[in-house]
Structure formats: structure tokens, C-alpha cells
Structure 1
Amino acid sequence: MLRTAFFTLLLLIHCLVLRVAPASSSSEEDDGSSEQEHAGHKKSHSHHWGYTDQHTWGSVFTDCNGKSQSPIDINTKNAIYDSKLPSIALEGYDLTDQPALTLLNNGHTLQLMLPPSMRIVSGFDRVYYAAQLHFHWGTVEEPGSEHTIDNVHFPAEIHVVHYNSKYANISEAANKPDGLAVLGAFIGIGLQENENYERILSALTDVSVEETKTEIPGFNARHLLPNSLERFYRYTGSLTTPPCFQSVNWTMFNDTITVSRRQLAALEDTLKMEQNQLLRKNFRAPQLLHGRYVVSSFSESPNQQTPKIVPLTETDPSTRVRASTGGLGEKQRGDILAIAFGGLFAVTLLAFSMYAFQQRKKYSKFKKDARQNVIYKPASKEEA
């Protein structure tokens, strides 16, 4: 009976290991993601595009077929540390003196229009003026960040779009090789409400219908980005929506921002697009690097904290991984495997101990019985 229980438990542990292992094999190129870098272009284009027909973008917008497209998967092991990368410095992000800011549901994303007084004053060759910020998100089951870290998708992503001050406006800069600079950050789920994000999210019901807008009071937009801007990845890419101009200098911060589950749910379940459908999963699939390099402002070390992830099981055959505030993805899977094999070892040891105890007990009983059947008599000289 012990042997049967042992092998049953072994089978259960084996099934657990098989269930955990596939989570480490997510695709580097095609994850069903999407992006939206509205650099001022609106629906004036003759072709009405959507996130469900990404494979057709290139037939209408030729730049979408380029070899410097975004978003990408950021492979942290391949990122090149560049000690000469200048730090990011921002000015004018405190908009509390602004009478009002325009919030828009354009049918592709939630977009907040920004004044050019907001700017990046250090980090690039020239000053870059802010134009707008927007978000990308998914669903509870399918995280919706555009970029990924080691094939890991985060629940959402924020992009703050700036244009080069050498150009008159964002429309002029949008298709220039040095035209745009986008600051991006991953949004995770935390236990507490994010008061700064609530300034935007509290107005979602006012823009629930496509092509509607409202005004919200000014606030400090700097608090929408991570506290530290020192650790980031940098690469050259494109708008992540048609017309996919390859004009973006991307900066993706390593540190994440957190909002509550309720706040993220409001973003996922409130906004509508055409035909009264929920605006969800507005992210583009990761694009190939085609020889491009990703540089980082920091070097990796064994003790370094990296974005935290937790595995997510989906009905979709191509398993994706969702990021949040729980332990590291690879590390967590390793921990589960370690616990499984540790449990197997413990069960084996217990079964062996019980088996040895039973054998010892049986031997003791046999020895006792044997002694009872022996008649003792003193040894004679001959027997000695």
C-alpha cells in the first residue's frame, strides 16, 4: 500500500512539473501584442485600422513593413551597458497651474493632451517638447503592455510622446528620423490605489464613447512615471500604430508603476470603440530587431532587482506571462520545481524510513520467536 501511495504522489508531482515548465517557453516574436503611438496623426488616414488586423497594416502603410519597428522584446541579457548614456532630466511636468487638460478617447487609446512647456531637457542631443501621453492595456486574462522584458508582458504601459524642438510641431516631426522621443514605463498591479493615476481614471466615464473628450484639472504629470528615471533601456524604433513611422527614440524605464486592480479594471471595462465594443487589447505584437541594439543605462548584477513577474495560464495555446508585483518569473518557476523535487525527496525518505522500521520490527519479532524455540543447556567440554 505504501508503494502504491508513493508512486501516486510521484505521478502528481510529475504532472505539476509538466504544467509549470511550458510557461518558460513564450514566443519572442509573436505574442498577440499591439501598440499605439499617436504622434498627432488621427483618423484622417483613408484606411481605418484596428488591432485585430495588424497583419494587414503593411499593405496600406508601407512603413509598417520596415526593419526598425516597435514594440520589441527587451532581452536583458543582450542589452549593452553604455556608461555614456546621459541621464533623463524633465522640466515643466508639474501642470498644477494649468486650468485644464484635455482627455480624449480616440477609439484606439486613452490620450491626454500635453502643453509644450513640458519637455525633456537632458538625455538627448536636443530639447524635446511633450505632445501627449496615452496608455496600452489588455484584459484580466491577457496583459497588455506593448514592450516585453524577457518575453514578459506587463498589465499595461504608459507612453509620454515628445517631439524634437527643431521642428515646429509634432505633425512636422512625426516622420523625421530624429523627430520623436517617447518615454515608456510598465504598469503593474499593487495593493493600493494610485492617487496620481486616479486623476485621469476618475474621468473615464466622461469619455467612454469613441471620439469624446473632457477636461480634467491640471496635476503633476511627473508622478505618472517611476520615481527613479536613472535605470532605462534605449533603442531606435517606430510608432507602434499606423503609419508606423520609424522616427522614435525609445526610452523604456526599468522601474515599474503600480495601480490597484480596481483602477486597471476601470481602464479595461469602461472605454468603447466603434460599434459600442469595449476598447481592449490595444497593443501591437513585438517586432523583430533586425540587427538593432538595445542599450541600457545600468549594468546587470546578481543582486540587481529586475521587473517582477508571475506566471499566467491562459486558454490560448501560446502561453503568455503576466507581470505584477510578485516574484521573478524564471526564479518563481525554479522555486516551484525546487519545491516539487524537494517534496519528492521528502516523500521518498519518509517511505524508506517506514519501510526500514517495518523490516526492523519484523526481524525483531522473528528473533524473539526463534529464541523461544531454543532449549538452553550448558556446554560440555566436547562442545567447547
Structure 2
Amino acid sequence: MLRHFLTLLVLPGLVVNSSSSRSSSEEEKEHDDGSREKESNGHHSNGHGVPWGYKDQTAWTFNFTDCSGKSQSPIDINTRRAIYDPTLPPISLEGYDLTDDSALTLWNNGHTLELILPNTMRIVTGFDHEFLAAQLHFHWGTPEVPGSEHTIDNVHFPAEIHVVHYNSKYANISEAASQSDGLVVLGGFIQIGLHENENYEKILAVITDVSIEESNTEIPGFNVRHLLPNKLDRFYRYNGSLTTPPCYQTVNWTIFNDTITVSRKQLKALENTLKAGQEEHLNKNFRAPQLLYGRHVLASFMASSTIKNPGLGRMGERNQSTEQSEGLSRGDILAIAFGVLFGVSLLCFLLYTYQQHRKYTSITKDPRQNVIYKPAMKAEA
């Protein structure tokens, strides 16, 4: 574990210096002299040696070229525009059930709470290659401002978990970061439930030990699979970027439809415990949703509002008929039906009124209506 941790700390240069072939990866991590970004998620005080923060996200585009690209993350997932793709294979995980004698390093890197994972954890099916785990981290807000990065139909969730993996055909995550098939990230939405989540408590129980930026601690291994939703078969898929500088557009995102629940107390611990710098609270560490610019979001399941296109190739283009039918939800159809019904009813009423008016007009114009009837008078004998 120590060797793996040291490897993660010295990976940096490959990510910073690799400006070519970027199209499908996620959050990187580097921690070398504080002069390079974190290799697996880009989460440190510097990207190319340039400090950054969440308060002024527009400044990212000036210091990091990719942050102004057209394949950025996170995004809003519009369920009406998601395309059902039955060819998306189910995701299968192995090695996630860690024994308690395998220590995991938890640390506060100044931008998130991160847990370093052993590469014995892996995704064995769901993609074209095996993907090895590197780390997981969280994004959150405040009690007033929900802090998930991705949104569903413009709705934010209280928090979001990202589990970062790299392609097993590469030597390490730093090498994989610049490759189009290099990284895969599994994302899940965190909501408030009625009960405490005992699996999240394994992390949150020691969160005070890493309250100061750059502090770390070790926790016993546990079943990391339980940090994700119970079912992994319903998910959205799209190509995007790191959600932090340097915003490399090299991430293959999988966002699960089912959510994870934690107690209000547990979420509060995440929102209020960590610090960035000396005094500043570490919260609202989420990037605003980015524009799609023509990208397509695929869905592994068929929902009432999901576009069905069985002939679509993975991450492929929609056909013309799909484009034309896009956007007609059940509500749209009902609205159109009621509109047509109202129009027909109005037309019938107008026709009836017109006929009645004509009938009345014809009566008033009848010359006989002006004749005064006088019965004949019979002369008396």
C-alpha cells in the first residue's frame, strides 16, 4: 500500500505535459512539491502551477485552455433527450470488497475529501478493457445549496461521489490520463435519508482527523462497493472532461440513475468539517453544469421520457427520425390533444352560433311578420 501511495504522489508530470490526444478520461491526481496537479482528479491548488478555486470558475478558462472546450463536464442530464442504447453492457466490479487489514489513505487535498484505492479493485465488464481503481472523492454544497456536480433535469442533489479508474493496458493513471480510452469514472448522487449509512460512516467517522488541508489518515479496508447504489444496471453515459483544472476532455462518464442515501448528520459532517487553507470552510466544491455542444447522453434503460433508438451504436449518432421526434413527452402529447379538442369544440360552437344567427335573421326579414291579422266581422242579422 505504501508503494502504491508513493506512486500516486509522483505521477504528475505525465498529466501536465501531455497536451495531445485527449478525449475520454476523468479526474487526475498529482502531489509533487505542490507544483503539479493531482493525478487522478486534477484536485490540487495548481493545474500548471496556477492556483484555482471554485469561487471564480470563469477564471479557469484564462489559465487552462481545455476548460473552455466543447466537451466539458459536468452536465445537466435531460432525461427527455437521453437516448436509450440497449447495446450498453452491464457494469461488473471485482475486488471492491477489501479486507480490514488493508489500510486505505484518506486525505483532505484542499479541494475535496479523497480516498486512495488499490488497483486490485477493477471494472471487469462494461467497457472494452478492464479498468483499475485509483481513487474516489466527493463534491458537496451547504444545507442551503445542494452540491452535486451533475444534475438531472436541472435538479441538484446534496452531494456526489466519483470513483476514478484507469485502463489496465497503461502502466499507471498518469500515463492513461492523456489517452482517449484512458479513464472511466463512476458517479453517484447522494441524498438525505432517514437512517445513517454505516458504509459512509467508515469514512465520515474519521473526517475530523483530516479537517486541515493536506492532512491524511488511514482507515481499515471495507466493501467500497457499498458506497455506490445498490443497482448498477441503470445509468447514463457520455464523453466529457475533468470537472477541475486542467479540465482535460478525456473522461468517459457513467452516472447512475439510482441514488445513495446518508443521514442529515452525516451530510452535515461533510459540509462543515473540512477546511481549505487556514480558516476557509471546504464546501460548495462543485463546478457549474457545462453546455453539451451536440454531445449525446446515452441511457442503459428505457424510461417513459427516454428516446428509444435500438439501432444506435455505442456513443454513436442519432438518426434523422429520432431527431425529429425528440422532445415529445407525455405532457406534450396531452397538451396537443387538449388543444385540438378545444379547437374542435370552439369551431362547433361558432358554427352553431352562426346557424342560429342566420335562422333569426331570416325570421326577422319575413314580410308576413308585419301583417296584422284581423278576423272577419260577421254582420248581425
Length-normalised TM-score, structure 2: 0.69
Q: Is the 8 A contact 1:175 1:246 kept in 2?
A: no
Please show how residues 222-301 of structure 1 align to structure 2 within 5 Å: 222-301=225-304
Q: In structure 2, the residue corresponding to 1:51 is in which secondary structure?
A: coil
The Cα of 1:275 is off from its aligned counterpart by 3.2
- 1:53 aligns with 56
The Cα of 1:63 is off from its aligned counterpart by 1.0
Q: In structure 1, the residue corresponding to 2:275 is in which secondary structure?
A: coil
Moved more, 62-71 or 106-115: 62-71
- Establish whether residue 160 from structure 1 lines up as the match of residue 177 from structure 2: no
- The correspondence for 2:182, drawn from 174, 179, 186, is 179
- The correspondence for 1:115, drawn from 95, 118, 122, is 118
Please show how residues 201-240 of structure 1 align to structure 2 within 5 Å: 201-240=204-243
In 2: Cα distance, 1:140 partner to 1:275 partner: 22
User: Kindly tell me: are residues 91 and 98 of structure 1, through their superposed partners in 2, closer, same or farther at Cα, counting changes over 3 Å?
Assistant: farther
- 1:72 aligns with 75
User: Kindly tell me: are residues 175 and 98 of structure 1, through their superposed partners in 2, closer, same or farther at Cα, counting changes over 3 Å?
Assistant: farther
- 1:39 aligns with 28
In 2: Cα distance, 1:230 partner to 1:278 partner: 36
The Cα of 1:276 is off from its aligned counterpart by 1.7
Return the letter of the residue paired with 1:124.
F
Please show how residues 75-94 of structure 1 align to structure 2 within 5 Å: 75-94=78-97
- Establish whether residue 101 from structure 1 lines up as the match of residue 110 from structure 2: no
Q: In structure 2, the residue corresponding to 1:251 is in which secondary structure?
A: strand
In 1: Cα distance, 2:238 partner to 2:248 partner: 15
Please show how residues 125-164 of structure 1 align to structure 2 within 5 Å: 125-164=128-167
In 1: Cα distance, 2:83 partner to 2:133 partner: 28
Q: In structure 2, the residue corresponding to 1:94 is in which secondary structure?
A: coil
**Which structure 2 segments of 5+ residues have no match?**
1-25, 37-47, 306-330, 332-381
Q: Per-residue CA shift, 1:152-187, capped at 9, x if unaligned?
A: 000000000001111111111112222110000000
Q: Is the 8 A contact 1:72 1:288 kept in 2?
A: yes
Q: Which structure 1 residue ranges, 4+ long, deviate > 4 Å from structure 2?
A: none
The Cα of 1:97 is off from its aligned counterpart by 4.6
Q: Per-residue CA shift, 1:51-74, capped at 9, x if unaligned?
A: 012101111111111111000000
Q: How many residues align?
A: 268
User: Kindly tell me: are residues 98 and 123 of structure 1, through their superposed partners in 2, closer, same or farther at Cα, counting changes over 3 Å?
Assistant: farther
Q: Is the 8 A contact 2:212 2:278 kept in 1?
A: no
Q: Is the 8 A contact 1:135 1:158 kept in 2?
A: yes
The Cα of 1:96 is off from its aligned counterpart by 1.9
The Cα of 1:298 is off from its aligned counterpart by 0.3
Return the letter of the residue paired with 2:302.
S
The Cα of 1:189 is off from its aligned counterpart by 0.1
In 1: Cα distance, 2:27 partner to 2:272 partner: 21
Q: Per-residue CA shift, 1:121-172, capped at 9, x if unaligned?
A: 0000000000000000000000000000000000000000001111111111
Q: In structure 2, the residue corresponding to 1:275 is in which secondary structure?
A: coil
